[in-house]
Structure 1
Amino acid sequence: MVRWKMYSDIHHFKDIGLNKTQVANRLNLNYKTVRKYWDVTPDEFLEIQKSRKARKLDKYHDPILTWLKQFPDISTAQIHDWLLEHYQDKTIKDRTLRNYIMDLRKKHNIPKQRTARQYQAVVDPPMGYQLQVDFGETKLRSTNGGKTKVYGMGAVLSNSRFKYSEWVDKPFTTSTLISMLNHCFEYIGGVPKELVFDQDKIATVNENYGDIIYTYEFEKYKKTMGFKVHLCKAYDPESKGYVKTFVM
């Protein structure tokens, strides 16, 4: 919007008869900037801005293209989330990213195709064997009338569907997760053989060729408690099961 106002102002003063130097002085702009846009049409200006914004995403070209090739039906919103998770870039605009992805799909012939997923019945594990764990957050009204964000963990025993949940008012850390799991194990009366998680940054710090590298604190806790971990794909909540609905 700021650049469009600048362009509009340049052409306003041009139309009333001012020359480039006068326009530059009036708008406190560099003379080269005024000269650059002096004979540019509105459509050409919008194309210039679109190209300028797209160039900002070129540094993410390789990971975006890789995701598109691996998951052709992926949405712009999912790629936006992944970029935020991996690169913490909060400046990316939805429309800019959508246009960039459309250009990549066209250039590399990657149509957005949704493949039919094959489902089959899965036998429940034995009683007490598997615990599915997930996380969520919401805002609650506080006693002073404002709103406070709270963070929750939900857990469901796969066979009995026995549930446990706990909420805190601070973002999760590995220590928070361990504390909540201890409370959960005490509540359900034991430690399951297997815990199922999303591939979540709370419990993991990196993924290298499919081998999960745990944080030191969580790896030590896992070995001490004697359970194994199954990590679902973060972009595939349907592989999680019952707990996803429970938390969401």
Structure 2
Amino acid sequence: MHTTIQTLSKKGYNKTQIAKILEIDRKTVRRILNELNEKGIVERKETCSILDPYKEYIQIQVTKDLKAIRIYQDLVREFEFQGSYDTVKKYVAKIKKSPPKAYMVLHSLPGEEAQVDFGYIGTIKLPDGKYKKAWIFVMELSYSRYMYVQIVFDQSVSTFIDCHKKAFRYFGGVPQNVKIDNLKAAVLEADFYEPVVQRNYAAFASHYGFAPEPCRVATPTDKGKVESNIKYVKDNCFKAREFKDIDEAKAFLMEWLETIANVRIHGTTKKVPSEEFNSYEKEKLLPLPTEEYNISEITSATVMPNCHISYGGNYYSVPYAYIGEEVDIVIIDNLLKAIYKDKEIALHPVEKNEKGKFFTDKNHYPDYKNITANEIKSRYREKMGEIGKHAAIFFDKFLEQIDSKYNYRAIAGIISLRKKYDNTTIDSACHRAYMYNALKYKTVKRICEQGINLLPVETNQTYINSEETFLTRPLSEYSKLLN
């Protein structure tokens, strides 16, 4: 764009014409021409390559004198690279022209650090005769270079943790730190500043007492020791070897570890790993835990308005404060743990035999949802007593007529009349209602509305005057009048 604007300007076009030709704003043309007049050159923006995230990895592979085609194949296999070979070829050629990048030598104290990684080794025959893709898990102690290797068929969380457990047993202890690659099994979000360690792996690390240390993204130099060992194990143990099945491969691997890998003179340290391990590092390792770590199942669910989460076809309560929030569900030892932001908020036994059942802790509901029948009676009696003594009598007579399942809505209605009428009016209305055995909210309300609450209700009172006056007439006269 800068070059085009510069060319048009030299041909005599003004800013308005250039803006119209290129369909851009005139102010943009003016700004670019001013920059060109000041600097005299067209500055080009640096373009990013899809290979930039793998730059350090490619640089290391180039130093190993690997061809571009081999680097491309490794990128596809190890990182599932989606670009073309031509892109890799040009990128490698560019790196070969640039000066090599300097790296610091990282030293570790005995028992301080171990590094782990996976490496693809091809397919291995299973007992059923089928071939399956296989990887090696390698854990190497950074000080002695003593290592443990295991063949696996996946890189799941459970496999990753199982490999750690076997490696720690092989070493007879646990290092203080374990440097891990940005594997999905261990790291959910690959971020140098805030790596989110997978919850199960974090719990496992806490149980064994080591600190997991995720590597930076696409930075193999962070775990250069184990990176080199992956290549060493591939070439020295598995390359150009044929195994009749997985059992033979595993047996050969363990023999190779004991007789070759851990007793050789290491190319970097010039020392024997097993001797360095037994002499200096083994005693510095943390002790193995006395209790076995049980891996858990982890999923998530949203808290429903009824204060429950759904798992396995059943429903388990959590505190009402988390309604609408997504919580983690951790299943371990037949117990369900609901966790929100690393805080355990509920614990229930897991039901596996039936479906559709509710497991409810009443304390997870708000207080107003946990009122007992006796508490309701006590509160209503108190409020009716505040209205007056007749209202309290009405309530007691009301209780005598209803069964235990009644929800007291009639009493609640009478209490609500206080918004419109004073206590005296309601109390006298309750008096009149219970005297006529009309123990209903509508009756009390009607008496208040019609203003008849003050009429006498005693049975010995009457509106007929028994004494004769000058107004007294015999009934026969009324009959004549009607006729």
TM-score range, shorter chain: 0.5 to 0.7
Q: Give 1:201's aligned residue.
A: 184
The reply on whether 1:211 has 2:200 as its aligned counterpart is: no
Q: Give 1:237's aligned residue.
A: 220
Structure 1, unaligned runs of 5 or more = 1-63, 86-91, 106-110
- Measure how far apart 1:245 and its partner are: 2.2
User: RMSD over aligned Cα, in angstroms?
Assistant: 3.6
Q: Structure 2 vs 1, CA of residues 79 and 151 (structure 1 numbering), >3 Å: closer, same or farther?
A: closer
1:195-224 residue CA offsets vs partner (Å, 9 max, x unmatched): 012222221111357200122211211222
Higher-Rg structure is: 2
Partners of 1:133 and 1:178 in 2: how far apart? 11
Q: Structure 2 vs 1, CA of residues 81 and 221 (structure 1 numbering), >3 Å: closer, same or farther?
A: same
1:7-29 residue CA offsets vs partner (Å, 9 max, x unmatched): xxxxxxxxxxxxxxxxxxxxxxx
1:79-138 residue CA offsets vs partner (Å, 9 max, x unmatched): 8789847xxxxxx5626x839x98xx9xxxxx945342113433x322121111111122
The reply on whether 1:162 has 2:146 as its aligned counterpart is: yes
Q: Give 1:98's aligned residue.
A: 87
- Measure how far apart 1:146 and its partner are: 5.6
The reply on whether 1:178 has 2:161 as its aligned counterpart is: yes
Which secondary structure state, in structure 2, belongs to the residue aligned with residue 136 of structure 1? strand
Contact (CA 8 Å) 2:180, 2:215: kept in 1 or not?
A: yes
Q: Structure 2 vs 1, CA of residues 132 and 82 (structure 1 numbering), >3 Å: closer, same or farther?
A: closer
- Measure how far apart 1:239 and its partner are: 2.9
Q: Structure 2 vs 1, CA of residues 175 and 142 (structure 1 numbering), >3 Å: closer, same or farther?
A: closer
Letter in 1 for 2:176: K
Which secondary structure state, in structure 2, belongs to the residue aligned with residue 177 of structure 1? helix
Q: Give 2:459's aligned residue.
A: none
TM-score by length of 2: 0.30
How many equivalent pairs are there? 168
Q: How does 1:59-74 map to 2 (within 5 A)?
A: 65=48
Q: Give 1:150's aligned residue.
A: 134
Partners of 1:196 and 1:79 in 2: how far apart? 22
- Measure how far apart 1:165 and its partner are: 0.9
Letter in 1 for 2:135: Y
Contact (CA 8 Å) 1:80, 1:94: kept in 2 or not?
A: no
Contact (CA 8 Å) 2:178, 2:210: kept in 1 or not?
A: yes
Letter in 1 for 2:194: D
Letter in 2 for 1:231: P
Structure 2, unaligned runs of 5 or more = 1-46, 59-67, 232-483
Contact (CA 8 Å) 1:72, 1:112: kept in 2 or not?
A: no
Q: Percent identity?
A: 22
Partners of 1:66 and 1:94 in 2: how far apart? 12
Among 219, 228, 237, the residue aligned to 2:211:
228
- Measure how far apart 1:242 and its partner are: 2.1
Partners of 2:152 and 2:55 in 1: how far apart? 37
Which secondary structure state, in structure 2, belongs to the residue aligned with residue 221 of structure 1? helix
- Measure how far apart 1:244 and its partner are: 1.4
Letter in 2 for 1:188: F
Q: Give 1:117's aligned residue.
A: 101
Q: Structure 2 vs 1, CA of residues 225 and 203 (structure 1 numbering), >3 Å: closer, same or farther?
A: same
- Measure how far apart 1:181 and its partner are: 0.5
The reply on whether 1:127 has 2:130 as its aligned counterpart is: no
Task: Say which structure, 1 or 2, has more relative contact order (CA 8 Å, 6+ apart).
Answer: 1
Partners of 1:161 and 1:83 in 2: how far apart? 26
